[in-house]
Amino acid sequence: MVSATVQKISTLQSFTDRITSREARVGIVGLGYVGLPLTLLFSAEKLRVTGFDIDRTKVDTLNAGNSYIWRIESEHIASARAHGFTATDDFTAIAEMDAILICVPTPLTEHHVPDLSYVQATIDAIAPHLHDGQLLVLESTTYPGTTEEIIVTTIEKAGRRVLRGTDLEDELNGIMVAFSPEREDPGNMETPRREVPKVIGGCDVRATAAAEALYQSIFTQTVAVSSPAAAEMTKLLENIYRAVNIAMVNEMKQLCMRMGIDIWEVINAAATKPFGFQAFYPGPGIGGHCIPVDPFYLTWKAQEYGFPTRFIQLAGEINEQMPTFVMRQVARALNFRGIATKGAKVLVLGVAYKRDVDDLRESPSLTIIELLQGLDVEVSYNDPFFPTVGHGRKYDLHMTSVPLDDLSIYDCVLIATDHSAYDYDRIVEESKLVVDTRNATRGIVSDKIIRC
């Protein structure tokens, strides 16, 4: 009779062998800015991927070999299809997967409470189709405890067992569960995705080992931590670090403006120090899924422990008020030139949250547009990545991007996102007034420019 320990080792070995031999099947749930790039990485390594999404339009687009994300070309989708990639909205196919990765949104409610409805709906849909020996990894950014409190609990309520032992002597039958935070950086064309180390925290040593084997097939380095909660907190620390520093420099920018000091000059000078300083830059607010959201995930969870995260909350408040600050600067600049805000024509350049990306998530530009509209300003926008802006979780604009034919018809041109496609010399030359929130006009000398 084979010993229990040998059985356990051989089963984990079987999982890793299937990864090595490229026989394993990988299921990725959520085919957005995180899930689709992962799909391409696995497909490039000849692993057969099935993508799951409730959006039938996305499923049909991908199965036709086309892309709906600007920085992912259709030829990359076609190549993945050639290596066996297929997309579906049929979650019964989860049973055929060796590993399942969940990459669904984790937004905030309007009251800054974590909205885990997408995670809960996903695990509810796939739990009935899970079976022993599978690896399930949550990649969606969330607060410490989510993996065990929601993922594990839901699986167990469905009558499945999750491996949560501390060594190979535990019973074998069960599902391996881990958390591995996504570390996507939209628009970053310098750092290859596979060069970004992958943090992994399993509910059990086998889950961690299986996840490492899986991710080592596409990433050059994996970093194992002691638990899912440690991995969840790692992602929050990374993004809260950025949020706090951005808040600090946004506050300093406002002070520097009052003192007549150029904050950009100060930052560039400080950045020459070879130690103890990392440059962060001010802007009209923060966008994307992570930085505007993650601090509030932690502050919400901290309440459970009776611990007020005052420093983090303050940073969040500073960053959130930046669109209002920009709106006031526009109104002030118009009024200074004798132009009433009511009825003024303002063109907003860039609605994406970040330069050269087709991503509107939490974009401060959308908030600025709504604030200006609240002052009865006649607002137009231009963005090469968004021909139209419709309805989202936090906005309802229904606007169409206007051409940059005649900038002189606008009382003010507001640079909200510094896309590289814009000709800033021409923008300044042809505009009556330019409010620059990104220092996009650096090096251009003109009394038309207000930098804020």
What are the residue numbers of the active site? 290
Dihedrals phi, psi of 388, to nearest 5 degrees: -140, 155
Query: In what helix (H) or strand (E) does residue 322 lie, and over which residues does it extend?
Result: helix 322-336
How far does CA 22 lie from the centroid of its chain?
29
DSSP 3-state of 98: coil
Residue 381 to residue 390: CA distance in whole angstroms: 13
The angle that helices 322-336 and 364-374 make with each other, rounded to 10 degrees, is 50
Residue 404 to residue 366: CA distance in whole angstroms: 19
Dihedral sign from CA coordinates of 249, 254, 255, 261 = positive
How far does CA 38 lie from the centroid of its chain?
14
- Beta strands 198-202 and 176-179 are antiparallel
User: Dihedral through CA 8, CA 149, CA 30, CA 358, nearest 10?
Assistant: -130
Q: Cα dist. 323→92, 107, 281, 363, 369 in Å?
A: 45, 19, 15, 10, 9
Whether 346 contacts 411, CB under 8 Å: yes
How far does CA 323 lie from the centroid of its chain?
20
Dihedrals phi, psi of 114, to nearest 5 degrees: -55, 130
Residue 439 to residue 433: CA distance in whole angstroms: 15
Enumerate the H helices of 127-181 as residue ranges. Answer: 146, 153-157
User: Dihedral through CA 249, CA 422, CA 332, CA 282, nearest 10?
Assistant: 0
The angle that helices 74-82 and 56-63 make with each other, rounded to 10 degrees, is 70
Whether 48 contacts 2, CB under 8 Å: no
Residue 18 to residue 16: CA distance in whole angstroms: 5
